[in-house]
Amino acid sequence: MSTPMSASIEVGAATARPQAPTGFWRRALRHRSFVIGGTLSLMVLGAALLSLVWTPWSAYEIDVASKLRPPSAAHWLGTDVLGRDIVSLLLVGARSTIMVGIIAVGIGITFGVSLGLLAAARKGWTEEIIMRMSDFTFAFPAVLSAIMLAAVAGPGMVTSITAIGIFQIPTLVRLTRGSANAIWAREFVLAARASGKGGFRITIEHVLPNVLPILIVQATIQFALAILAEAALSYLGLGTQPPQPSWGRMLNDAQTLLFQSPMLAVYPGAAIAIAVLGLNLLGDGLRDLLDPRLARER
C-alpha cells in the first residue's frame, strides 16, 4: 500500500492475553492518560445523559428579549443570540455529538472490520477489490462526501452520520486487514487449518479476538475524528439542523458575533476540545493497557 495512512496505530502488536479483571483495573487506575482520558470522556457522556432528564433551561426555547446575556446566577454561561441558555445548549449538544459519533463509528466498524477481515481471509481478487474500493473512498474526505450526499439527500443529521460513517470505513479496512494478515501468518492459524478449520471459523475464533485490542484503541480515535467531523459539518450547515443544538452549530452561530461575544465560540470550542482530547488520551491508555508485551511485566 503506497497511499499514506491516516490516524492508525502500529500493526502487529496483536496478541492480548485475557486479563483477570482486577489486574486490568489495578493497572488502569495507575495509568495517567487512561484516567484523565476516561474522566474527560465520562464527563461528556455524563453531560449527554444528564440532558435527557434535566437541563437548567430548555435548549429549544427562544427568548430574544434576553439575548447575549453575560454569565449570571440564572444563566451560568450566559445566553446566545436567540436568548437560549448556553449551559443547556452544551448539554443537549453533547447528546448530538455522542449519537453521531456512536452511529458513525458503528457504521465504520461494522463495514470496515468485516471487509478488512474478508480481505485478509480470502486474499486474491477479493482483497484487491476491497482495497481498491477503500483507496477510492479514502480519497473523499467526510466533508466532501457530505456535500455530495447533501446535494442528493439534503443536509441533516442522517446525511452527516452517513458521510462520517463512510469516511471511517477505509481507515478501519486497512487497519483490520493489516492486523489480520499478521495473525493469518502466525503458526497457530496454520495449526488451526491443519486441524481442519475453514476460513470463516478461523476468522471468527482466531483472527478477530487477536485483532480486537487494536480495534478497541482505534475505535476511540475514530470516535474523536467523528466528533471533529460532525462539528465541521454542522458548522458548514450540512450536519445537525436547527433547532437541534450541536456544538458545531453553536460555533456556526457564534461566527457572526466573533468580535462582539467571542465567548460564544469559546464554549463549544472547549467542549469539542475536551471530548477529542479525552478520547485520544483514553485510546493512548488503552493501547498501553491492552498491549500484552507490557501486560506481562507484572
Give the alpha-carbon dihedral of 90, 96, 97, 99, to 10 degrees: 140
Told to check if 293 binds other proteins by CB under 8 A, we report no
Told to check if 205 binds other proteins by CB under 8 A, we report yes
CA angle 98, 28, 276 (to 5 degrees): 30
Instruction: Select 9 or 192, whichever has its Cβ closest to other proteins.
Output: 192
Give the alpha-carbon dihedral of 133, 138, 142, 143, to 10 degrees: -110
Residue 279 CB, nearest approach to other proteins (Å): 26
Instruction: Select 159 or 203, whichever has its Cβ closest to other proteins.
Output: 203
Q: Is the dihedral of CA 140, 143, 146, 147 positive or negative?
A: negative
Told to check if 195 binds other proteins by CB under 8 A, we report yes
Residue 198 CB, nearest approach to other proteins (Å): 5
Among 70, 198, 242, 262, which residue interacts with other proteins (rule: CB under 8 A)? 198
Residue 212 CB, nearest approach to other proteins (Å): 9
Q: What are phi and psi of 179, to 5 degrees?
A: -65, -40
Select the span of 199-207, 214-222, 254-262, 271-279 touching other proteins (CB under 8 A).
Answer: 199-207
Select the span of 111-119, 201-209, 233-241, 271-279 touching other proteins (CB under 8 A).
Answer: 201-209
Collapse the DSSP code of 125 into the 3-class scheme (helix H, G, I; strand E, B; otherwise coil) and give the result. Answer: helix
Residues 206-235 contacting other proteins, CB under 8 A: 206, 209-210
Told to check if 200 binds other proteins by CB under 8 A, we report no
Among 192, 216, 274, 277, which residue interacts with other proteins (rule: CB under 8 A)? 192
Q: Which three cell numbers stand for residue 275?
A: 471530548
Asked if the bond preceding 243 is cis, omega within 30° of 0, the reply is yes
Bridge partners, 85 (sequence order): 79
Residue 107 CA, chain-centre distance (Å), reads 11
- Rule CB under 8 A: which residues touch other proteins? 15-18, 123-124, 186-188, 190-199, 201, 205-206, 209-210, 292
